[in-house]
């Protein structure tokens, strides 16, 4: 009789439980990352299918990613022209973010046991600074200029506040981190300029001049480092507000510091169909494409028998340099391949990179200028955090490796379970505000009083027209400023 065909009775309980656990752990390990799970949001937004997007956001609402729920919800409601609801969602996001940034770092202990995705998502400072920007646009659409001005005041302050907190924590964990982009993290000249527009529109010329000057400083410092530049009419903004205030010396200092903003050829400023004082201004903000997304990257780092293991953080720093393909070691010294999952930021430059805006009357045309590079800011923030992220991931993997070694002593099944548990819980944190734009372009026109349908020719990098859109029924009043925004895919 063939003994292989006569097994009777149930499988041994210990083996049954063990393999059931294995199956469960493998299922956990197969779960999609946050970015992959929510990628349909971008398609829904591009298609204008706001109801489906809001439903997806609601279905994927998670306690650890609750801030992202409010951010995505607020943005979709904004684009759906449900401005008050959008503001309510963004207010919830601001309150939650403030609470998360004041919490103890004790959650990081949890992340060392499982993954960074196991802690509450706090959002990058550049993401949080966009909340007041969108709230200000909501208020503008609601006809509440005072509310918009309050939000504009907040944007730069929040960016600086949250950046300082982040950099302080990073300095403690990773003292040797890359600091080359720190000056890009706590300052966004576009947000200064945006607040300057609202200050000037409200008659606060002193605050407007300061905001314009801060914007000029920021764009000057960023030159050649981000895909953004000062609008050529910023010099005229500085001159206009300085003239009203009698700031002769201050304007002279600005001319000396930023000669590119005060060209001898006055035609470098925005074309105007109406002279100063005889019409109103229209500022068109075009939000282009999507910000970069985080994807999971898996690394295998060689653990050597000769490694010093008494200090896990120092050991992790040694291992961090071993991911490079050119790292060489003696095969005989290899002890273990350490699996580490880390996030990788992947850019997605938009097909539309510029625009021409015209109003259908003589002289009423302008070329849009890229004034904010959110992709560049995302990469700067990512680089600042990358060293600390890798260190946490490697320290976490080393802890699991230690658990696996101890489990091996108890038997093969225990060792297998420990190894699978480590693999199942090792997942990179790919969370982020997925539907933010990639960059923001701006055009400015001065027009006679009236109502206009603005023609927007969307351009590719070569300057060719991809398509033409219309922004209908924009009202221009003498001495007033109209701000309109559109999202472009």
Residues 85 and 225 in one domain: yes
Note whether residue 15 is domain-resident.
no
Domain count within the chain: 2
Most confidently modeled range among 15-24, 166-175, 246-255: 246-255
CA angle 30, 36, 40 (to 5 degrees): 135
Note whether residue 4 is domain-resident.
no
Residues 265 and 386 in one domain: no
12-21, 323-332, 445-454, range with the lowest pLDDT: 12-21
Cut 0.75: pTM above it: yes
Residues 248 and 391 in one domain: no
Q: Where does the pLDDT of residue 111 fall: very low under 50, low under 70, confident under 90, or very high at 90 and above? A: low
Residues 262 and 403 in one domain: no
Question: What is the distance between the alpha carbons of residues 25 and 421, in angstroms, rounded to a whole number?
Answer: 6
Residues 328 and 402 in one domain: yes
Where do the H-state alpha helices sit in 186-262?
189-201, 205-222, 234-245, 248-257
Domain span at residue 248 reads: 232-269
- DSSP for 379-428? HHHHHHHHHHHHHHHHHHHHHHHHHHHHHHTT-HHHHHHHHHHHHHT---
Residues 129 and 159 in one domain: yes
Tell me what the mean pLDDT of segment 129-140 comes to. 97
Residues 244 and 294 in one domain: no
Residues 243 and 131 in one domain: no
Tell me what the mean pLDDT of segment 35-48 comes to. 86
Note whether residue 3 is domain-resident.
no
**Of 269, 296, 321, the domain-final residue:** 269
Residues 243 and 368 in one domain: no
Note whether residue 396 is domain-resident.
yes
Residues 168 and 257 in one domain: no
Note whether residue 292 is domain-resident.
yes
- Give the model confidence (pLDDT) of 4-40 as tens digits: 333 333 334 444 444 444 444 444 444 466 777 777 8
Residues 55 and 170 in one domain: yes
Note whether residue 20 is domain-resident.
no
Note whether residue 449 is domain-resident.
yes
The average confidence (pLDDT) of the chain is 86
Residues 227 and 282 in one domain: yes
Direct distance between the N- and C-terminal alpha carbons of the chain, in angstroms, rounded to an integer: 71
Note whether residue 39 is domain-resident.
yes
């Amino acid at each position: 009789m063939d003994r292989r065909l006569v097994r009777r009775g149930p499988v041994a309980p210990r083996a049954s439980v063990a393999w059931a656990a294995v199956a469960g752990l493998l299922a956990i390990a197969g779960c999609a990352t946050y970015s992959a799970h929510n990628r349909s949001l971008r398609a829904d937004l591009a298609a204008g299918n706001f109801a489906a997007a809001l439903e997806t956001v609601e279905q994927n609402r998670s306690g650890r990613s609750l801030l992202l729920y409010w951010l995505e919800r607020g943005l979709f409601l904004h684009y759906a022209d449900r401005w008050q609801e959008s503001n309510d969602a963004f207010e919830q996001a601001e309150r939650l973010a403030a609470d998360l940034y004041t919490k103890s770092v004790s959650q990081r202990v949890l992340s060392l046991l499982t993954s960074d995705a196991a802690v509450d998502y706090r959002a990058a400072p550049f993401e949080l600074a966009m909340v007041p920007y969108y709230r200000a646009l909501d208020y503008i659409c609601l006809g509440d200029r005072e509310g918009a001005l309050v939000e504009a005041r907040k944007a730069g302050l929040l960016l600086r506040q949250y950046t300082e907190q982040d950099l302080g924590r990073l300095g403690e964990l990773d003292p040797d981190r890359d600091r080359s982009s720190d000056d890009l993290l706590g300052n966004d000249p576009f947000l200064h300029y945006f607040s300057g527009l609202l200050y000037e529109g409200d008659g606060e010329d002193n605050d407007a001049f300061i905001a314009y000057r801060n914007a000029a400083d920021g764009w000057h410092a960023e030159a050649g480092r981000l895909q953004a530049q000062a609008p050529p009419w910023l010099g005229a903004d500085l001159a206009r507000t300085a003239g009203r205030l009698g700031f002769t010396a201050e304007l002279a200092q600005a001319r000396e510091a930023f000669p590119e903003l005060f060209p001898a050829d006055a035609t470098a400023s925005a074309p105007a169909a109406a002279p100063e004082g005889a019409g109103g201004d229209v500022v068109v903000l075009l939000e282009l494409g999507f910000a970069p997304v985080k994807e999971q990257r898996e690394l295998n780092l060689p653990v050597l028998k000769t490694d010093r293991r008494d200090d896990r953080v120092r050991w992790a720093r040694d291992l961090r340099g071993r991911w490079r393909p050119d790292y060489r070691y003696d095969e005989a010294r290899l002890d273990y391949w350490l699996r580490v999952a880390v996030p990788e930021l992947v850019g997605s430059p938009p097909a539309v990179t510029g625009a021409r805006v015209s109003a259908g009357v003589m002289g009423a045309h302008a070329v849009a200028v890229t004034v904010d590079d959110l992709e560049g800011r995302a990469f700067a923030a990512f680089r600042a955090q990358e060293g600390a992220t890798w260190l946490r991931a490697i320290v976490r993997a080393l802890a699991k490796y230690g658990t696996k070694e101890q489990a091996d002593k108890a038997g093969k099944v225990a060792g297998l379970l420990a190894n699978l548990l480590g693999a199942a819980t090792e997942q990179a944190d790919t969370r982020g505000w997925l539907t933010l734009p990639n960059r923001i372009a701006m055009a400015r026109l001065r027009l006679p009083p009236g109502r206009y349908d603005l023609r927007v020719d969307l351009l590719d990098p070569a300057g060719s027209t991809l398509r033409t859109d219309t922004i209908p029924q924009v009202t221009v009043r003498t001495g007033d400023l109209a701000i309109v925004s559109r999202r472009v895919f």
